[in-house]
């Protein structure tokens, strides 16, 4: 396929064809202007690298206690100090990165896949099916997300696998609502009507014509929901419903460190900072993606 060109006047009566920017180049140019978004992307790349190389660079065993170094403040031997069992906090924060990102990412992936499918079909077909889906979502929206997660954990029992299920269930109606709204706006467009008129099956219309139009919105929302999922997962572990001791998880570390806020505040400070930085990075990255994908913004 030949690439589209834009004529540029080089001299009177002479034009030089210049290749038009591809959508990928336009996106990269717009995203590079989002300074906070780029900084957040760099932080997220570092966090994802920690999930793979964490065991290699971790200076200590995150689970093995050392009763000779209880509640030591940050020092040359332990950069972030030690906890009530003498375990190195830096090592536990590094290992906690893998757990927190894995739990939040997997739960949002599951919730987004289910929510996108239901939102597309409900918005496209409408009728009683759409009404049933939206009334169910309204019931779920009536309760705060953390209460929904606690109720699900109370039924399934504590543990990280059940945290993934709880956060995924909380994520589903969020995606249903946003994808359904985009589908309603797209299904009456002229090119969709033309596809119906030539007899293209509904499933192909949904996945080849409507879904691509909702992808950018879903991608931005997906990125920002990861930060929320990290907060909910950490909250459940803080309450003792998620990760169980001695597993190194940020919420569980906060829970154990609250007893030493006056005598050894570093035990709770650094896991809390890890949660703050990670959630902030995902939200800022999502904001940058949203602005870069917004075609209303003129280059």
Q: 276-288, pLDDT tens digit by residue?
A: 999 999 999 999 9
- Residue 299 confidence (pLDDT): 52
Question: Domain range spanning residue 239?
Answer: 35-59+76-293
Give the Cβ contact number of residue 63 at 10 Å: 14
Indicate the number of domains in the chain. 1
φ/ψ region of 104 (left if φ > 0, alpha if ψ in -120 to 50, else beta) reads alpha
Per-residue confidence (pLDDT) for residue 296, from 0 to 100: 59
Q: What is the mean pLDDT of the chain?
A: 88
Q: What is the CATH number of the domain that holds 114?
A: 1.10.3720.10
289 located within any domain: yes
Question: Is residue 12 one of the residues assigned to a domain?
Answer: no
**Position 173 in a domain:** yes
Residue 3 lies in a domain: no
Q: Which of 54, 67, 135 is nearest to 99 (CA)?
A: 54
pLDDT tens digits, 212-255: 989 889 999 999 999 999 999 999 999 999 988 888 999 999 99
What confidence score (pLDDT) does residue 270 get?
96
- Tokens 């994808």 label which residue? 179
pTM for the model stands at 0.86
Question: Taking a C-beta distance cutoff of 8 angstroms, is the pair 60, 88 a contact?
Answer: yes
The list of the chain residues with pLDDT below 50 reads 1-6, 9, 18, 298
- Give residue 26's pLDDT: 82
Q: Is residue 205 part of a domain?
A: yes
Dihedral pair phi/psi, residue 144, rounded to 5°: -60, 150
């Amino acid at each position: 396929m030949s690439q589209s060109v834009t004529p540029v006047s080089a001299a009177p009566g002479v034009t030089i064809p210049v290749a038009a920017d591809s959508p990928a180049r336009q996106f990269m140019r717009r995203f590079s202007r989002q300074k906070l978004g780029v900084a957040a992307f760099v932080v997220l790349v570092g966090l994802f690298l920690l999930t793979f190389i964490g065991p290699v660079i971790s200076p200590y065993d995150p689970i093995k206690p050392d009763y000779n170094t209880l509640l030591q403040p940050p020092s040359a031997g332990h950069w972030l100090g030690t906890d009530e069992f003498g375990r190195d906090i830096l090592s536990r924060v590094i290992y906690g990165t893998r757990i927190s990102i894995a739990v939040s990412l997997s739960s949002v992936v599951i919730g987004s896949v289910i929510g996108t499918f239901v939102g597309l079909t409900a918005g496209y077909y409408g009728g009683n099916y759409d009404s049933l889906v939206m009334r169910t979502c309204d019931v779920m929206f009536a309760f705060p997300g953390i209460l929904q997660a606690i109720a699900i954990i109370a039924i399934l029992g504590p543990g990280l696998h059940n945290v993934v299920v709880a956060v995924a269930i909380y994520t589903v109606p969020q995606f249903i609502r946003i994808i359904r709204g985009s589908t309603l706006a797209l299904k009456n467009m002229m090119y969709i009507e033309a596809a119906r008129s030539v007899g293209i099956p509904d499933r192909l219309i949904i996945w080849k014509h409507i879904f691509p139009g909702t992808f950018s919105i879903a991608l931005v929302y997906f990125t920002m929901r990861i930060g929320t999922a990290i907060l909910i997962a950490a909250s459940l572990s803080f309450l003792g419903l998620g990760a169980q001791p001695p597993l190194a998880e940020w919420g569980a570390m906060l829970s154990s460190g609250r007893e030493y806020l006056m005598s050894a505040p570093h035990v709770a400070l650094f896991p809390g900072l890890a949660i703050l930085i990670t959630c902030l990075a995902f939200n800022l990255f999502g904001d940058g993606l949203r602005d870069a994908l917004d075609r209303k913004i003129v280059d």
